[in-house]
Amino acid sequence: MPSLFSGFEYDIFISYRQNDNRSGWVTGFVRSLQEELGATIKDPVSIYFDENPYDGLLETHSVDKSLEGKLRCLILIPIISQTYCDLKSFAWQNEFLVFNKLTKQDQFGRDVKLGNGNVASRILPVRIHDLDTEDNTLLENELSGPLRSIEFIYKSSGVNRPLNVSDNPEKNLNKTLYRDQINKVANAIKEIVLSLKTHERMPSVKPPVTSGYEATSGVRKNILKASTAALLIALAAYFSYYFIFSKNHSVQKLDKSIAILPFENLSGDPSQDYFSDGIAEEILNALVQIKDLKVPGRTSSFQFKGKAVDLQEVGRKLKVSTVLEGSVRRQGNHIRITAQLISVEDGYHLWSQQFDRTVDDVIAIQEEIARTIVQKLRVTLLENENLDLGEGLTTNKQAYDAYLKGRFYWNRRQMKESEQFYKQAIGLDSTFASAYASLAEAYVVFPFFSNVGFPRQYMPMAKEVAEKAIHLNSSLAEPYAVLGYKNFLYDRNPEQAKKYFEKAIQLNPKSVTAHYWYGQFLSCYAPDSLIALDELHKALELDPLGAGTYNVLGIILRNYKRYDEAIESYKAAIEINPQNLNAYVGMGLCYLGLGQEDEALKAFREAAGQSRISGALARLVYFYVKEGKADQAKAIFTELMDKSKKEYVPKSNLAIAAFYLSQKDLAHELLKEAYEERDPFLVTGTNRHPIEFFSEPRNVELRKQLRFPKGR
């Protein structure tokens, strides 16, 4: 019997040690559960249960490939006994651990939100023994939290065995009845199945129109300086006090959400902006790792930099209840940081503090204070959640300073300056993994910025630097996302790209960059799947004012020919960042798709007027040709060809312009050059080419070589 959900082998997988079924207890449990599920869930539920599983895994054994397929199921029920948590057992190594890993990568995730708002794991442990301390710890470490199980344990003086149907609950110290426990398991399964059905519904694709700033990279596991750590400790103290003890009515309604606004630079020197921005970003990057704390991404929070802030507007746009704002004054080796936490509902100052530190002290005590942060936050926010600070942290203050400058220029999209400071940071500390990761991220997008670089120059460099970052710190998500993007755009290897993107998201589910790059990839190589839209919505949940994410969402909707919705997405991106040239080009293409040429012309002229962007200029050729303005059309084409001799201009855009000028042979040659030079726009923007252009047989063949699936 197939699973209730397409793409899954079974609904339930029963995992157990063979020794625990010698008496037939597991077999009886499965039969009882099947009967109870039949009376609990309307649809038939499939269960995989092998009565003769492998019990040991030796070096000479190979993993059962058929079992790997069967683990593609909705729920794993491990029968937790005194022998189950054995590192040598097949059940532990190849069922429990493998399923736990697989669920973190599939479309549902391991932990699912139930209809009542609670969260449940797709691992549903059934415990038949009280466990030794080390076994309990092993399970909790793997589950990232306390063991929440349904108990089938019979206990009396000196007795610790599985509960049987015939056991008298009055003589059992646990007072549990076998039939009731079976019913609890069935109801738990029902709740999970219903929540997964809700999850499968098509996501809303019409984006809200808001305000914000250009999208940047996702979460980064960087260095925590002592000044940053001290602020986090104070924040933790605030949450501990107010969430538990405060009777103030406005505080009582606060949820676990906070926006970290950019800190004001009070040094009297604009060149120190990078440092005040860096301190705020460090706090954000540390807090965003906490699963139970909602922290909007840097792009959204830093949209308010340099503006008179209306806190209620911030709360509404970022969907947070509290805001941290502050200032930094740096003079020589001395740093003074002032910070205050404010309720967005009524502007009430919940907490404020001033910190005086020296740069030297920051580096010396960073690890000690960082660990203190974890302990403080665990009191109210984390429970058993760990704040993983990662490895590869620099102790070189000059390297860290250069790195902050690199981040500063990267966020301003001053690409060459960003590259310069990242390389300087690496030169000062050759083991600085985060600097390598950031440099790789810059290199992989260089071809998208004019006057920066050619794909054949920078894409291999992105791979080299990303692999170096992984070698230094394999827990960083960003280098894997970079490798995924390179395999997507440059190598045209969708299988490998998918693996890298999934690895990045597994390492950091809150990486905005990984989600929106993966969504862009899926829009090309899984055009009939809703997963692409889902990935973009995940990115927007993490960073609600990310203009770049709205751009990619517009591309995906445009690929589906959902032009009206795509236009709304592009408008949202433009409202966030009016200088968003790619959004104007994308919107113009949508208007062309709708046959609204006047609106399309306005959009292309707006983009070309702000910057002589090649995608807009190529489309203007079409309009000038149509209007009989041949000289103007040729002048634009000449401009594009001249630009291509001095800087990188995507050959695919030149091919479009040549085609509109009826120079079809030249257009074909330029298209071949685009393919040979690994033009990234040839992959992401193939649907920007005129339909009749790709209908020519010689161009159809080139398109096939891009390895798009049928229907793209």
How much of the chain, in percent, has pLDDT values that exceed 70? 76
* CATH dotted code for 226-382: 3.40.50.10610
Does residue 456 carry a pLDDT above 50? yes
Residue predicted with more confidence, 62 or 535: 535
**In Å, what is the CA distance from 25 to each residue of 20, 41, 56, 174, 333?**
7, 24, 20, 19, 69
Dist. CA 130–CA 151, nearest whole Å:
9
155-166: average pLDDT: 88
Mean of all residue pLDDT scores within the chain: 76
Residue predicted with more confidence, 444 or 281: 444
Report the relative pairing of strands 73-80 and 126-127 from DSSP bridges. parallel
Does residue 219 carry a pLDDT above 60? no
How much of the chain, in percent, has pLDDT values that exceed 90? 18
In DSSP terms, which residues pair with 546 in a beta bridge?
213
pLDDT at 645: 82
Helix axes 614-626, 597-610, angle to 10 degrees: 140
pLDDT at 320: 84
Does residue 214 carry a pLDDT above 50? no
Q: With beta carbons less than 8 A apart as the criterion, state whether 546 and 516 touch.
A: yes
Does residue 565 carry a pLDDT above 50? yes
* Model confidence pLDDT, tens digit, residues 597-623: 889 888 888 877 766 777 778 788 888
Dist. CA 578–CA 110, nearest whole Å:
39
Q: Say which amino acid occupies 254.
A: L
Of residues 653, 656, 635, 634, the one with CA closest to residue 644: 653
Q: Would you place residue 464 in the very low, low, confident or very high pLDDT band (cuts 50, 70, 90)? A: very high
DSSP conformation letters of 256-296: SBEEEPPPEE-SS-GGGHHHHHHHHHHHHHHHTT-TTSB--
Instruction: Quickly count: other Cβ atoms within 10 Å of residue 372's Cβ.
Output: 16
What burial letters (b/e) apply to 454-484, b meaning 16+ CB within 10 Å? ebeebbebbbebbebbbebbeebbbbbbbbb
pLDDT at 528: 57
pLDDT at 548: 78
Dist. CA 156–CA 648, nearest whole Å:
78
pLDDT at 1: 62
pLDDT at 52: 62
Q: With beta carbons less than 8 A apart as the criterion, state whether 123 and 148 touch.
A: no
pLDDT at 557: 81
Q: Say which amino acid occupies 625.
A: V
Q: With beta carbons less than 8 A apart as the criterion, state whether 643 and 614 touch.
A: yes
Does residue 687 carry a pLDDT above 80? no
**Beta-strand (E) ranges in 109-226?**
111-113, 119-121, 126-127, 150-151, 153-156, 159-162
Backbone angles phi, psi at 389, to 5 degrees: -85, -10
* Model confidence pLDDT, tens digit, residues 346-400: 776 666 666 677 766 544 433 443 344 344 434 334 444 454 444 446 778 888 8
Residue 350 per-residue DSSP state: E
* Model confidence pLDDT, tens digit, residues 26-49: 999 999 999 999 899 988 899 988
527-541: average pLDDT: 75
Joined together, the tokens standing for residue 256 give 């676990």
Q: With beta carbons less than 8 A apart as the criterion, state whether 447 and 415 touch.
A: no
Does residue 252 carry a pLDDT above 70? no
Residue with tokens 């303005």: 629
DSSP conformation letters of 367-436: HHHHHHHHHHHIIIIITT------S-----HHHHHHHHHHHHHHHTT-HHHHHHHHHHHHHH-TT-HHHH
Dist. CA 482–CA 540, nearest whole Å:
20
- Chain-centre distance for alpha carbon 252: 31
* Model confidence pLDDT, tens digit, residues 395-451: 788 888 888 888 888 877 788 888 999 999 999 999 999 999 999 999 988 877 655
Does residue 203 carry a pLDDT above 60? no
pTM for this entry:
0.56
Beta-carbon contacts of 542 under 8 Å, excluding residues fewer than 6 positions away, are 218, 296, 297, 510, 512, 515
Joined together, the tokens standing for residue 346 give 């009524």
pLDDT at 496: 93
Dist. CA 26–CA 18, nearest whole Å:
9
Beta-carbon-side half-sphere exposure of residue 281 (alpha carbons within 13 Å): 27
Lowest mean pLDDT among 118-132, 289-303, 630-644, 660-674: 289-303
pLDDT at 683: 74
Does residue 83 carry a pLDDT above 80? yes
- Highest mean pLDDT out of 77-86, 145-154, 572-581, 606-615: 77-86
Dist. CA 668–CA 215, nearest whole Å:
35
pLDDT at 451: 54
Dist. CA 694–CA 324, nearest whole Å:
53
DSSP conformation letters of 625-681: HHTT-HHHHHHHHHHHHHHHHHS---HHHHHHHHHHTT-HHHHHHHHHHHHHTT-HH
Looking at domain 10-200, its CATH class is alpha beta
Q: Would you place residue 61 in the very low, low, confident or very high pLDDT band (cuts 50, 70, 90)? A: very low
Residue predicted with more confidence, 11 or 537: 11
